[in-house]
Structure 1
């Protein structure tokens, strides 16, 4: 009898463990990428304007070329970042030799704008690590909450940044994003609220309300709670204009 009871306890414990198993963050992110454009990202030419600069991205099955064009009085400045990680600057069509520190600065800024423009695409890069944090509610909608970090190898200059994505459990769209970043000797925090969703040639684009905390923050994971408590201040709007997709 005791053996039977013990066996049943093991069976029910096994079933309970299966039921309590957390969802796979990779599966959720894959679904989010799929509803946002999926394979269309892999072979695409995307162009848009952001804050008086023009951006273009050519992607072809792993290869990419990301450019930023700035018109400065009579000069046309083009910064081009390729999939090998090399940043090249051209002024009026002439290649300019950059010091390493400036090349890293331009590389980071070009990559950041293009990275945010097509989120959640690239969350399956080799250097990306994803962790499921659980379900939560933001503005009466339920979300999967996923933490994203990056390996030092292949994670870029800002590999130590930490992101959190709130992916709607019904639509699988990433409606909120928060991240921490190095700011001199401190850690800075931002929270972005997606709006103005539109699909262009099957690829989802959104704009963002960009918030910063009013008070000190102890970890990027609590930014959704601060948002709902009114503890975030609107810093800027991230708006992509004149989007073209081929």
Structure 2
């Protein structure tokens, strides 16, 4: 009889343990599934908002147009046609007339009409510089590139106006040398304009910037903005808190980002 009771107790204990483990595994699985679902929802919502922002800023015109503008004593052009692109930058220095060209095939530099040999380091730096200026000029167009990851971060208030807050990161594969950079965009909930943005970067010793858009103008159906560019006064502030610092005068104006002599031809 004692043996029988011990056997029954062992069986009950074993069953309880199995049920407990199964319940724990199910709970963990449900938590993971819920987290995955929430992430998917945040991604889907971010995508919808970015799509609306691109549409509000120019939509399909971005990928079928030629653009030229001046920025800080340099002349830029961008020709885009269904995914094919040619970006150029022209200026004069001690060597003469310089033209940098970035396209689907790569990058090269010409000086006085002759192509010059560049080290990999310089070619990379010049290429990134050209791409960066035109990338910001055409925002938010580039936010639907394949390497871009978008996440909805909720609603934030800036100067009494609510905004959709979108976080953007980049895949390492195809994301370029600055794939570790992170961006935040504050998008107006009705007009879908990108009124503020912030980003962290690792090149040139790294840092963070916060930009406030102004002087927004419509040039042949495409919106272009100038920006007031701010930097942090503290190394401990987080990217997500830059907007709080901005509203409390905790950022320092670094520069003005002004595009001049903009000319657009829609193809």
Identify whether the pair has TM-score above 0.5, normalized to the shorter chain.
yes
* Gaps in structure 2 of 5+ consecutive residues: 1-36
Are 1:91 and 2:111 an aligned pair? Answer: yes
1:216 to partner: Cα distance:
2.2
Q: Which has the higher strand share?
A: 1
SS at match of 2:139: coil
Instruction: Detail structure 1 runs of 4+ shifted over 4 Å in the superposition.
Output: none
Q: TM-score, normalised by structure 1?
A: 0.88
The structure with the largest alpha-carbon Rg is: 2
SS at match of 2:80: strand
Which of residues 165, 177, 180 in structure 1 aligns to 2:197?
177
1:75 to partner: Cα distance:
1.1
Are 1:128 and 2:148 an aligned pair? Answer: yes
Q: For 1:24-63, list aligned pairs within 5 A.
A: 24-63=45-84
1:152 to partner: Cα distance:
1.1
Q: Which has the higher helix share?
A: 2
Which of residues 198, 220, 227 in structure 2 aligns to 1:208?
227
Q: Which residue of 1 aligns with 2:245?
A: 226
Q: For 1:58-69, list aligned pairs within 5 A.
A: 58-69=79-90
Which of residues 134, 140, 157 in structure 2 aligns to 1:114?
134
Are 1:197 and 2:197 an aligned pair? Answer: no
Q: In 2, Cα distance between the equivalents of 1:218 and 1:140?
A: 22
Q: How many residues align?
A: 226
* Gaps in structure 1 of 5+ consecutive residues: 1-16
Q: TM-score, normalised by structure 2?
A: 0.81
Q: In 1, Cα distance between the equivalents of 2:194 and 2:112?
A: 39
* 1:64-110 Cα distance to aligned partner (Å, 9 max, x none): 011000112571100000023x1110011101111101100101101
* 1:157-208 Cα distance to aligned partner (Å, 9 max, x none): 21110000000111110000100001555x4000000000000000000000
Q: In 2, Cα distance between the equivalents of 1:62 and 1:200?
A: 21
1:244 to partner: Cα distance:
0.3
Q: In 2, Cα distance between the equivalents of 1:88 and 1:29?
A: 32
1:222 to partner: Cα distance:
1.3
